[in-house]
Amino acid sequence: MAIDDIKVHNDDPEEEEEEEEEEEDLVDPLDGLKESCGSSNHCAHLNEKLTACNDRVNSRSKTEETCSEELFDYLHCVDHCLTESLFKKLK
């Protein structure tokens, strides 16, 4: 008999339902806020710059250019937006 063959039986259906309900209730507010902040008017132009830089870098086969500056600017904007609204949604 191997460890994989051992099965744990849970005879209490109420306990299984409670565990499923608890898992369904957990929603990370950060995910939705990141999307809304990333597409906001304040950060949209930085996202466009990042996308243009990525397209430019990906179109070249030999380049030393990276888009780190554009990425940092965009992430800074999103983080700044998140700080204004994230802590209001936490319990």
Q: How confident is the model at residue 39 (pLDDT cuts 50, 70, 90)?
A: confident
Cα separation, 60 vs 69, whole angstroms:
18
Look up tokens 């939705």; give the residue: 32
Q: How many residues does the chain have?
A: 91
pLDDT of res. 18: 60
More confident residue, 90 or 47: 47
Residue 89 in contact with residue 29, Cβ under 8 Å?
Answer: yes
> What rounded mean pLDDT belongs to the chain?
81
